[in-house]
């Protein structure tokens, strides 16, 4: 239900609309909704009042169905420029709507300087919470990766930024502007999909230029921009081929060219390399990063592949259960994980339980469950007697009987040796059902230990990181 309260308009311009539903699409020709504070006396706390400027009120308002009135109210709330008709002076009315209206005038919280800002974004699918109270800032020109396991909310977050999904709560700002009610085509973003999403009946050049044609750009401009985009992705000479005549990698290049040709402010990637073979993935991820750096387009990349994230990103946001667990540069994410989850998800890792026996400002001494002792850097506050998990990266460890001064020593038996050519992994059983993996670069097969033989693991100073146990 909607009621228009009389402002400074003349009496003959409006009837008693409280007794008759208004056809707001006719009543409000051009309006701009501006949120006002809650008013006392409203029947429901969810009510909001909006000031509508530059409207023409028709006395012959007609009866509308509930569905139609709801649609008209939605149109009324859209923020459109105010251009009063000739001879119609701007009038002010208060429209009370039985639904929450976001405070579009509120200043974004710490969103200045961000190309993309998410504020308290949440999304549910039935009883399942996909994204929970998410805050995120993406810097202009940055390549940010949303990394996490399946079901962590990364693709849902991307779809909300693109406008394909609407959040249940929170705000999405692009260049400081709230885009909550803007459809995808008006958000100045472009998406590169996992499944390419090419039109099979259109040629390469027609697919790439499709967005420009929808924007009604001149033919000469379309031709020039399509040619430039195809040159950038290495598809010159294939302009007249159809998608079915291209390889998977070439189709993904077409999808990439179609995205960049419209010169979006934000480029979105939804696991675009997951359907490609390993060699092609390795090649394309470098090409995408080079192209993004060359064009300077703010980019958000979704993947569950940690190698892609580490190679391509300026920063990585590791997600878990709809929240960001840690966001930082790739090197910091790998070397200085903030939580046990990040430590276990990023890179190869050994997580060994133990107990802190003494702690200082920058290091602590840990007695592992295997009865070995190591010095570790704490990821957070750790006190004596507190259970911890100790991270040992396989590439930081060494095998050898002669342990250098200052190194910790862990002994065990070789349980497995995996030789991958340029790298071998030696799995050592150190007791208490704990296995520690040690990486051996450029291995000589004759020098690798035999299964069942005794092994001594050397832990260099600073190689161990301790996390307060959550169990």
Question: What span, in angstroms and rounded, lies between the C-alpha atoms of 410 and 254?
Answer: 53
Q: Between the CA of residue 127 and those of 124, 130, 149, 155, 169, what are the distances in Å?
A: 7, 9, 20, 18, 15
Whole-prediction pTM: 0.74
Proportion of the chain above pLDDT 90, given as a percent: 68
**Model pLDDT, residue 361:** 77
- CB count within 10 Å of CB 257 equals 26
**Model pLDDT, residue 111:** 60
Spell out the residues 6+ positions from residue 293 whose beta carbon is closer than 8 angstroms to its own.
Answer: 143
> For the residues 345-355, what does the mean pLDDT come to?
94
Residue 213 phi, psi dihedral angles, 5° rounding: -65, -40
CATH topology of domain 116-334: Rossmann fold (3.40.50)
Q: How many CA atoms lie within 13 A of 317 on its CB side?
A: 26
CA dihedral 296, 300, 305, 310 (to 10 degrees): 40
> For the residues 146-153, what does the mean pLDDT come to?
95
With helix as H, strand as E and coil as C, how does 50-79 read? EEEECCCCCCCCCCCCHHHHHHHHHHHHCC
CATH topology of domain 351-468: OB fold (Dihydrolipoamide Acetyltransferase, E2P) (2.40.50)
Q: What is the mean pLDDT of the chain?
A: 81
Least confident of 31-40, 147-156, 358-367, 451-460: 31-40
Domain range summary for the chain, segments of one domain joined by +? 2-97, 116-334, 351-468
**Model pLDDT, residue 360:** 82
- CB count within 10 Å of CB 142 equals 19
- CB count within 10 Å of CB 7 equals 13
Write the pLDDT tens digit of every residue in 205-241.
Answer: 999 999 999 999 999 999 999 999 999 999 999 999 9
> Between residues 5 and 166, which one has the greater pLDDT?
166
The DSSP bridge partners found for residue 350 are: 392
Please choose, from the candidates 327, 332, 340, the residue with its C-alpha nearest in 3D space to the C-alpha of residue 382.
340
pLDDT higher than threshold 70 for residue 8: no
Please choose, from the candidates 331, 334, 356, 355, the residue with its C-alpha nearest in 3D space to the C-alpha of residue 343.
334
- 244: burial class by Cβ within 10 Å (0-12, 13-18, 19+)? exposed
Residue 163 pLDDT class (50, 70, 90 cuts): very high
3-state secondary structure of 118: strand
- Which helix or strand (DSSP H or E) is residue 170 part of? strand 169-174
Helices (H), 46-163: 66-77, 154-162
**Model pLDDT, residue 275:** 86
**Model pLDDT, residue 127:** 93
- Asked whether this chain's domains 116-334 and 351-468 adopt the same fold, the reply is no
Write the pLDDT tens digit of every residue in 405-443.
Answer: 999 999 999 999 999 989 999 999 999 899 999 999 988
Write the pLDDT tens digit of every residue in 54-87.
Answer: 333 333 333 344 444 444 444 444 444 444 444 4
């Amino acid at each position: 239900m909607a009621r228009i309260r009389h402002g400074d308009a003349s009496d003959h311009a409006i009837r008693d609309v409280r007794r008759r539903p208004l056809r707001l699409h006719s009543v409000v020709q051009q309006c701009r909704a501006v949120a006002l504070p809650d008013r006392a006396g409203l029947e429901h706390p969810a009510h909001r009042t909006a000031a509508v400027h530059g409207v023409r009120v028709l006395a012959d308002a007609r009866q509308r169905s509930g569905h139609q009135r709801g649609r008209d109210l939605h149109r009324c709330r859209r923020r459109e420029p105010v251009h009063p008709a000739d001879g119609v002076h701007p009038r002010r009315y208060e429209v009370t709507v039985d639904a929450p209206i976001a405070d579009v005038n509120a200043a974004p919280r710490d969103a200045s300087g961000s190309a993309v800002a998410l504020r308290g974004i949440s999304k549910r699918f039935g009883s399942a919470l996909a994204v929970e109270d998410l805050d995120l800032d993406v810097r202009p020109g940055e390549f940010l990766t949303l990394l996490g396991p399946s079901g962590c909310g990364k693709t849902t977050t991307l779809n909300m930024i693109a406008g394909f999904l609407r959040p249940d709560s929170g705000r999405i700002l692009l260049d400081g502007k709230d885009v909550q009610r803007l459809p995808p085509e008006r958000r100045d973003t472009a998406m590169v999909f996992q499944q390419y999403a090419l039109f099979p009946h259109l040629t390469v050049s027609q697919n790439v230029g499709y967005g420009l044609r929808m924007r009604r750009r001149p033919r000469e401009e379309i031709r020039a921009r399509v040619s430039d985009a195809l040159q950038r992705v290495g598809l010159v000479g294939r302009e007249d081929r159809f998608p079915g005549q291209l390889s998977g990698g070439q189709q993904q290049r077409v999808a990439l060219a179609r995205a960049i040709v419209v010169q979006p402010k934000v480029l979105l990637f939804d696991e675009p390399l997951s359907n490609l073979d390993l060699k092609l993935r390795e090649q394309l991820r470098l090409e995408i990063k080079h192209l993004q750096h060359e064009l300077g387009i703010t980019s958000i990349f979704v993947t569950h592949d940690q190698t892609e994230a580490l190679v391509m990103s300026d920063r990585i946001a590791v997600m878990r259960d709809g929240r960001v667990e840690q966001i930082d540069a790739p090197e910091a994410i790998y070397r200085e994980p903030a939580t046990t989850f990040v430590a276990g998800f990023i890179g190869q890792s050994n997580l060994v339980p133990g107990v802190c026996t003494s702690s200082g400002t920058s290091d602590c001494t840990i007695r592992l469950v295997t009865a070995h002792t190591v010095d570790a850097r704490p990821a957070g506050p750790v006190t004596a007697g507190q259970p911890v998990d100790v991270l040992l990266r396989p590439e930081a460890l060494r095998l050898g009987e002669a342990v250098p001064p200052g190194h910790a020593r862990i002994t065990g038996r070789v349980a497995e040796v995996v030789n991958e050519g340029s790298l071998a992994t030696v799995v050592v059983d150190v007791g208490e059902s704990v296995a520690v993996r040690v990486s051996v670069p450029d291995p000589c097969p004759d020098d690798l230990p035999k299964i069942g033989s005794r092994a001594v693991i050397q832990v260099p100073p600073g190689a161990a990181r301790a996390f307060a146990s959550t169990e």
